[in-house]
Amino acid sequence: MEWNNQVMKYLLSLIFSFLILVGYSQCDNGTNYYPSSIYSPLPGSWSSASSCNWAGEVIQVEVKAGDVYQFSTCDNYGGSLASYDTQITLRDFAGTLLDFNDDAFGCTGYTSYINWTATYSGIVYVHLNEYYCMSNMTCTRVMIYRTEALTQPGPCTSNTSYTSRDFPTQASPYETIGCYYAGEYCTWNNPEDGVSYSVSSSIPTDWITITIGTFDGPIINYGNNPLVLPSAVVGQSYFIHVNIDDLCKTESSCRDLTVGRQSALPIDLISFNGEVFGGDIHPLVVIDWSVASQVNNDYYEVQRSINVEQWYTIKTVTGAGNSNTQMSYSIIDDNPLHGVSYYRLKQTDYDGQTETFFPVSIIISSEEKIIDKVINFMGQEVNENYKGMVLEIYQDGTYVKKNYE
């Protein structure tokens, strides 16, 4: 019985010692920043934020997603050896543990070394401590080495939140956020199940990344502006990150970010009509149309055909992007075809998707009219060599005003 008690005491002491070690194995120095400024290491060489960091301080280091960073108090990595038993802890802006080392293999003494690949672009917080998460006033250089990731296009995620919004609805099919900075993300909540959404920035060259669940969660899509969030899942939150380019560069200048409900029709067409003016000799065809709303609308094309199979664009008109206001448009075909021809409207989104609408037919007489006489505005009959405004009068009694040059 006494032997069992001794064994139990021994086991309890081991467990207690283990808990102490665990409690001190991942240090947190709060916001005791030194230096106070954020350090941005250049790639390709060892450097340090300060020549004298004390245990108990936190170094703020700017990192880029995908790059590899080494942090060392070991002489074999960076050439600077701490004079005491060090610990290095990495945390993100929320205090979440990213990595930790105490007594790195291959290092002189009880010094530390971490090799870490950045999972986001932003700030990583490097906590320096003496063993058991203690503080001291001994100068130590924490050496840092940055290796750039391959520069092929990839996702860019940031830990800097701008704001949050609900996804647009069928009643209000788009939502725009103003003055969005490159290097920030916005949280989008309450999507409709199975609905796809278009994402566009007002800066055409921007690079967009979409994650799900958290700002550094699984990548849903990434690429050049504009981008599509496909088949959203109800109950999930999505995080839309904007950068200048695929190198994840940031910029503190305003841009607008628009999310549109893609399953909604890009335009709500009210009417599309064609009418002939000017008679059969020199006719003009006026095409007009009205829309109640527009979503992500880049431009319109008015197309013409003689057989409803081959279509040719005769005019292009800029769309209004996103609008809930009724708007009207018109174009003039000043060189229409005689006989029967067809006109239709084609609409193109910012993301390249198109929609065409049912055509209207126009009939212009193909009979050639015979000129009876030509008179000037003084009532004098003239010939084809006359210079100036005239009336051509035809044998059927019709006439048309022309400018003879």
- What is the rounded average pLDDT for all residues in the chain? 85
Q: Please indicate whether residue 292 or residue 186 has the higher confidence score (pLDDT).
A: 186
Domain that holds residue 77: 23-147
Residue 13 parent element (H or E):
helix 2-25
Domain count, the chain: 4
Tell me the range of 74-88, 146-160, 356-370 where mean pLDDT is highest.
Answer: 74-88
Q: Where is pLDDT greater, at 183 or 264?
A: 183
pLDDT at res. 6: 52
Give the pLDDT mean for 108-134: 93
28 and 126 part of one domain: yes
Cα 274 vs. chain centroid, distance in angstroms?
A: 39
Exposure letters 171-181 (e unless 16+ CB within 10 A, then b): eebbbbbeebb
Q: For residue 9, is it within any domain?
A: no
| Cβ pair 232, 254 in contact under 8 A | no
The whole-number pLDDT of residue 83 equals 94
How does pLDDT run across 308-355, given as a tens digit for each residue?
Answer: 778 899 999 999 888 878 899 999 998 888 778 889 999 998 878 888
Q: How confident is the model at residue 21 (pLDDT cuts 50, 70, 90)?
A: very low
> Considering only CA atoms, which of 186, 128, 162, 159 is closest in space to residue 64?
159
pLDDT over 70, % of the chain: 89
Q: What is the pLDDT of residues 258-307, one digit of tens each?
A: 998 874 566 778 889 988 887 666 788 999 999 888 877 899 999 998 88
Residue 156 in any domain: the answer is no
Both 109 and 223 in one domain: the answer is no
Same domain, 35 and 132: yes
For residue 56, is pLDDT > 50? Answer: yes
Same domain, 208 and 181: yes
Site of tokens 């006719």: 283
Residue 27 and residue 104 in one domain: yes
Domain final residue, candidates 261, 283, 310: 261
Domain membership of residue 4 (yes or no) is no
What pLDDT does 23 receive? 42
Residue 16, pLDDT > 60, answer no
Query: Is 54 found in the same domain as 127?
Result: yes
* 297, 192: one domain: no
With respect to residue 190, please indicate whether it lies within any of the assigned structural domains. yes
At 79-91, the pLDDT tens digits run: 899 999 999 999 9
Residues 28 and 138 in one domain: yes
Same structural domain, 42 and 91: yes
The pLDDT, as a whole number, for residue 279 is 65
In the listed set 147, 170, 194, which residue is the last one of a domain according to the structure? 147
Chain segment 22-50, per-residue pLDDT in tens? 444 589 999 999 999 999 999 999 999 99
User: What is the rounded distance in angstroms from the CA atom of residue 70 to the CA atom of residue 79?
Assistant: 13
| 57, 32 contact by CB (below 8 A) | yes
pTM here is 0.38
Task: Select from 237, 305, 262 the least CA-distant residue to 168.
Answer: 262
In a domain, 2, yes or no: no
Q: What is the CATH number of the domain that holds 325?
A: 2.60.40.10
Better-scored residue on pLDDT, 61 or 94: 61
Distance of CA 403 to the CA centre of its chain: 54
In a domain, 154, yes or no: no
- Residue closest to 285 by CA, chosen among 357, 359, 362: 362
In a domain, 222, yes or no: yes
Inside any domain, residue 292: yes
Whole-number Å distance between alpha carbons of 66 and 55:
29
